[in-house]
């Protein structure tokens, strides 16, 4: 006789069957991603093959995209990497990015942590002060006059200091700090830890995802910055890579800003494509190392704020 008190196990199917509408939706998503892939891949591949195109190549751009690798030429890369002006511009961009990210994180982390402390006197007023520059742009002329009065004209610091703190990155980091359990902070304060010690020894080690994510935002911004170097840098020895790329891409026949002889006998179009590809290499190298922190940091940081 069956025991009425016995617990019956119910088998739950482990496979969820897709309905017809689910299949159609998945097919539409896959088709969209395939189209998006080709939209990105075709111009990228065209730029890469154009940068390796030999000077004696005769054919259309479409035919050049299918040029076999053993017929490629590295003359454009040799011309750029052997040119002192290109190397100097590349080094200036590296300096701007490194110093910019360091100073931006040095300012953004303490500010964001201060805004995350709910018991901070005047916290609401401080948040309003941070939001005002985001809502109302003072314009180019006041910014230029401020940089000039600070004596930063023709200094690399003029490129990254005016934009060292952005409201968006500050609020994202503030939201992440607010997500750290208050019990952890309070226990450290009870043990006598100062706010500086709490920030350096507890908050920052736990906030590596958001620091890496925000650091990537700043790095991309400083690396691609074109307007501020054009506005504040007058010396040819200080121009970064975006300015040099603009000169290369905009110069007709490469004789307005850059002498053809300075880049050897490489084709003009190949040099343009190679310069664009070389400018993207640092971000391509850096992103895989930061990607594992990227989604986690931005997601957790956007929950509160």
pLDDT digits (tens, 9 = 90+) for 205-223: 888 888 888 888 899 889 9
Going by pLDDT thresholds of 50, 70 and 90, the confidence category of residue 179 is confident
- Mean pLDDT for 127-155 is 84
Report DSSP letters for 233-253, one per residue. ---GGG--HHHHHHHHHHSGG
- Mean pLDDT for 38-48 is 87
Report the pLDDT value the prediction gives residue 301, as an integer from 0 to 100. 46
pLDDT digits (tens, 9 = 90+) for 81-138: 887 888 898 899 999 999 999 999 999 999 988 888 888 888 888 888 888 877 877 7
Contact assessment for residue 76 and residue 274, using Cβ atoms and an 8 Å cutoff = yes
Token reading at 178: 């607010």
Report domain extents, the chain.
20-73, 78-301
Going by pLDDT thresholds of 50, 70 and 90, the confidence category of residue 305 is very low
- Mean pLDDT for 214-233 is 88
Mean pLDDT value across the chain: 80
- Cα 182 → chain centroid: 31
Question: What is the rounded distance in angstroms from the CA atom of residue 286 to the CA atom of residue 44?
Answer: 18
Question: What is the rounded distance in angstroms from the CA atom of residue 259 to the CA atom of residue 27?
Answer: 52
Report the pLDDT value the prediction gives residue 81, as an integer from 0 to 100. 82
Give 78-301's CATH code, choosing from 1.10.3720.10, 3.10.580.10, 3.20.20.70, 3.30.428.10.
1.10.3720.10
Percent of the chain with pLDDT over 90: 11
Token reading at 285: 């190298």
Contact assessment for residue 54 and residue 73, using Cβ atoms and an 8 Å cutoff = yes
How many CB atoms are located within 10 Å of the residue 239 CB?
A: 20
């Amino acid at each position: 006789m069956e025991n009425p008190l016995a617990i019956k196990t119910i088998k739950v199917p482990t496979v969820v069957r897709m309905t017809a509408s689910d299949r159609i939706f998945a097919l539409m998503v896959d088709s969209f991603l395939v189209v998006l892939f080709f939209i990105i891949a075709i111009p990228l591949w065209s730029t890469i093959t154009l940068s390796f195109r030999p000077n004696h190549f005769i054919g259309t751009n479409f035919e050049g995209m299918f040029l076999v690798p053993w017929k490629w030429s590295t003359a454009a890369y040799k011309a750029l990497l052997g040119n002192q002006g290109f190397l100097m511009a590349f080094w200036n961009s590296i300096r701007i990015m490194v110093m910019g990210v360091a100073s931006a994180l040095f300012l953004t982390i303490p500010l964001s942590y201060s805004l995350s402390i709910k018991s901070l006197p005047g916290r609401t007023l401080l948040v309003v002060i941070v939001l005002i520059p985001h809502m109302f742009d003072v314009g180019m002329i006041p910014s230029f006059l401020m940089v000039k009065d600070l004596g930063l004209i023709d200094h690399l610091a003029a490129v990254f200091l005016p934009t060292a703190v952005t409201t968006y990155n500050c609020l994202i980091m503030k939201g992440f700090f607010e997500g750290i359990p208050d019990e952890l902070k309070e226990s450290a304060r009870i043990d006598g830890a100062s706010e500086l010690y709490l920030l350096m020894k507890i908050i920052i080690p736990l906030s590596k995802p958001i620091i890496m994510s925000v650091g990537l935002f700043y790095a991309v911004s400083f690396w691609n910055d074109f307007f501020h170097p054009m506005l504040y840098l007058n010396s040819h020895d200080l121009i970064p890579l975006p300015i040099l790329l603009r000169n290369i891409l905009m110069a007709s026949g490469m004789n307005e800003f850059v002498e053809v002889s300075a880049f050897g006998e490489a084709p003009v179009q190949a040099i343009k494509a190679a310069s664009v590809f070389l400018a993207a290499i640092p971000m391509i190298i850096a992103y895989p190392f930061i990607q594992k922190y990227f989604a986690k940091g931005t997601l957790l940081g956007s929950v509160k704020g």
